[in-house]
């Protein structure tokens, strides 16, 4: 069962493009990419760096640690076999809700 939590306001993401939140010990990075909000596990599957310290470039989330690029919708790393876990996101007006249950396994594609 989905447990939707209000984790940010859309106006915050419009201003900053990203935000890090922690929910019951779960580190979640929110990104605003091309008008859509995405949520990824904040700890990079490659070298355990914080993705929320990275940047959005060409529609991808780029980890500053080693420049790995992730598809924000699926978490799939470009040209790598690893996948960053993601979370379901729902936007209602200005409020951004996330289901804090991870989709995908750390390091596994698909």
pLDDT in tens, 29-57: 999 999 999 999 999 988 889 999 999 99
pLDDT in tens, 7-17: 999 999 988 89
CATH of the domain at 92: 2.102.10.10
Domain-embedded: residue 106: no
Residue 106, pLDDT score:
56
CA dihedral over 69, 74, 80, 82, signed as positive or negative: positive
Domain-embedded: residue 107: no
86/24 Cα distance (integer angstroms) = 16
Domain that holds residue 70: 5-99
pLDDT exceeds cutoff 70 at 107 = no
Domain-embedded: residue 109: no
The tokens describing 70, both together, are: 């992730």
């Amino acid at each position: 069962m989905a447990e939707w939590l209000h984790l940010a306001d859309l106006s915050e993401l419009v201003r900053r493009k990203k935000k890090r939140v922690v929910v019951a010990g779960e580190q979640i990075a929110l990104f605003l990419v091309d008008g859509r909000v995405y949520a990824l596990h904040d700890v990079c599957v490659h070298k355990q760096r914080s993705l929320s310290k990275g940047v959005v470039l060409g529609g991808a989330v780029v980890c500053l640690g080693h420049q790995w690029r992730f598809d924000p919708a699926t978490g799939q790393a470009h040209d790598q076999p690893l996948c960053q876990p993601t979370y379901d996101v729902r936007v209602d007006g200005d409020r951004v809700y996330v289901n804090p249950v991870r989709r995908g396994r750390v390091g596994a594609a698909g």
